[in-house]
Amino acid sequence: MRLNEEETAMLNGEQGSVLQRALQHQLAVGDFFGAVDFVPVTQAHIMADTESLGQAGVVWLEGLSDNSDSARSVRIPTITDPRGTDFGMANELGQRDWMLELERRTINAFERLGVSMTDTCINYQTVLAATRGEHVAFGDTGVVIYTNSVCGARSNFEGGPSALAAGLTGRTPRYGFHLDEHRLATLRFEVDFIPQSLNEWGALGGVIGRAAGNYWQVPVIEGIRAAPTSDELKHFGAAMASFGSIALFHMVGVTPEAQRIEDVGGHRLPIHQRVTRNDIEALTASYAVTSEVDVVVFSAPQLSLYELRSLAELCDGRQLKVPLLAVTSPQVAPDSERFGYTRRIEQAGGAVLSGMCFYQSYAREMAEAKGWKTLATNSAKLVNILGGYGYTPMLASMEKCVEAAETGELR
């Protein structure tokens, strides 16, 4: 890769061993993907939950943060994805002391590196949305697809060490979705209906993601005649990324790079698939294997303030029979409390958790500790993931999920 003077100095260790190690890692990534040089980035977002890090990963992170180099702190705004717990609810979730200790060590290491502990996967709704054309280094798949597609900024899926390296060096290898040629449409989809609920938007994203099924594919979607909300696009993109590893989509007339299908070259493509309501109903039905529900979870992505408002309205006047967990960000949680949404959910018997993500929080161990097997959610992303953690997940609307929490059955 071609290096400028500053990058050469980093590589030679002239700015300390932490930056040297960071740039060495980025060079290996860049060489693998055929990058010619680096692109400056303005923000970084790190996925580093302790379930993935493990003991060895935490020790590695501590080794960086304990380094005596004066240049060990990040040089651009660098934030974190959800943590593995809400410390105030850990006992209720059946999480064990060793899990919490790993979390505390990880947090301490990040803070010594100058990382802001935002603990969120919805930073585009809460912290600072990237702007069109802005180059960033983001890790969470739902964050990346929203940032690329809805905001029009530019990022690849950055692994945890790569995102941290970008925060330290202020740059990332210039490949993939940082390049104009990789942002053109490669598959064309036509939709003949408008989803009516968040679970339907997620299911639509799941159908398209599964049909695309390749990180380098860029779907362009025609037929969405009304402007989706941020929460609808959030569920749509997160599910597409989960089912298909997709990092960028275009929605004609909605997303900024595709005001016309010609803008992204989609007019030259044959229609790959016409997606109908039957397709999303089939995806939903594939998870409807039982009616009994052990736990209801709203998570992945974290809930916005408006989602919590809707949930509070549905909880009013109910007494829930099975646990209901609503997971939000530390930025949204205080407003939810201030507006009374948290109190209303808790009065019904639900719980509002902050700063974590359900499937990154030792979900299998929680299931074993609490005796949970069947789970209802309105997140298509979550149902796609949780089968691997020993759950039987079911996809339904928020309304149906709350009814299931009240009755113990999903009807």
Residue closest to 293 by CA, chosen among 141, 395, 189 = 395
| pLDDT (tens digit per residue) in 267-283 | 999 999 999 999 999 99
* pLDDT higher than threshold 90 for residue 52: no
The single-letter DSSP state of residue 180 is G
Residue 229: CA atoms inside 13 Å, Cβ hemisphere, count? 12
- d(CA 266, CA 268) in angstroms, rounded, equals 5
In this prediction, residues 216-236 reach a mean pLDDT of 97
| pLDDT (tens digit per residue) in 300-318 | 999 999 999 999 999 999 9
Q: What is the pLDDT, as a whole number, of residue 59? A: 95
| pLDDT (tens digit per residue) in 14-50 | 999 999 999 999 999 999 999 999 999 999 999 988 9
* pLDDT higher than threshold 80 for residue 86: yes
- Nearest 5°: the CA angle 219, 154, 50 is 95
Q: Please state whether beta strands 38-40 and 219-222 pair in parallel, antiparallel, or not at all (unpaired).
A: unpaired
H or E stretch covering 202 = helix 198-212
In this prediction, residues 238-262 reach a mean pLDDT of 98
Q: What is the pLDDT, as a whole number, of residue 247? A: 98
Q: What is the SS3 assignment for 68?
A: coil
The pLDDT mean for the chain works out to: 96
The type of residue at 18 is V
Q: pTM for this structure? A: 0.96
Q: How many helices and strands in the chain, by DSSP H and E?
A: 16, 14
Residue 156 sits at φ, ψ, to 5 deg, of -95, 175
Q: What is the pLDDT, as a whole number, of residue 371? A: 95
User: Edge-to-edge strand order for the sheet containing 392-395?
Assistant: 351-354, 324-328, 295-303, 374-377, 392-395
Residue closest to 74 by CA, chosen among 172, 135, 164 = 164
Residue 326: CA atoms inside 13 Å, Cβ hemisphere, count? 30
Residue 81 sits at φ, ψ, to 5 deg, of -75, 175
In this prediction, residues 278-305 reach a mean pLDDT of 96
- Which domains, from first to last, does the chain contain? 5-140+152-175 (3.30.499), 184-284 (no CATH), 289-407 (3.30.499.10)
Q: What is the pLDDT, as a whole number, of residue 309? A: 98
- Nearest 5°: the CA angle 205, 206, 211 is 100
- Strand boundaries in 25-129, DSSP class E: 38-40, 44-46, 78-80
What sign does the dihedral 291-297-299-303 (CA atoms) show?
Answer: positive
* pLDDT higher than threshold 80 for residue 292: yes
- d(CA 353, CA 355) in angstroms, rounded, equals 7
Q: Please state whether beta strands 171-173 and 38-40 pair in parallel, antiparallel, or not at all (unpaired).
A: antiparallel
Q: What is the pLDDT, as a whole number, of residue 144? A: 98
Q: Which residues contact 60 (CB under 8 A, 6 or more apart)?
A: none
Q: What is the pLDDT, as a whole number, of residue 289? A: 85
Q: What is the pLDDT, as a whole number, of residue 48? A: 84
Residue 374: CA atoms inside 13 Å, Cβ hemisphere, count? 17
* pLDDT higher than threshold 70 for residue 70: no
The structure tokens listed for 95 are 């999480």
Q: Which of 57-71, 189-203, 345-359, 386-400 has the lowest mean pLDDT?
A: 57-71
Q: Which residues contact 181 (CB under 8 A, 6 or more apart)?
A: none
* Helix intervals (H) in 66-178: 97-112, 123-126, 141-146, 160-169
In this prediction, residues 281-293 reach a mean pLDDT of 94
The structure tokens listed for 120 are 């969120």
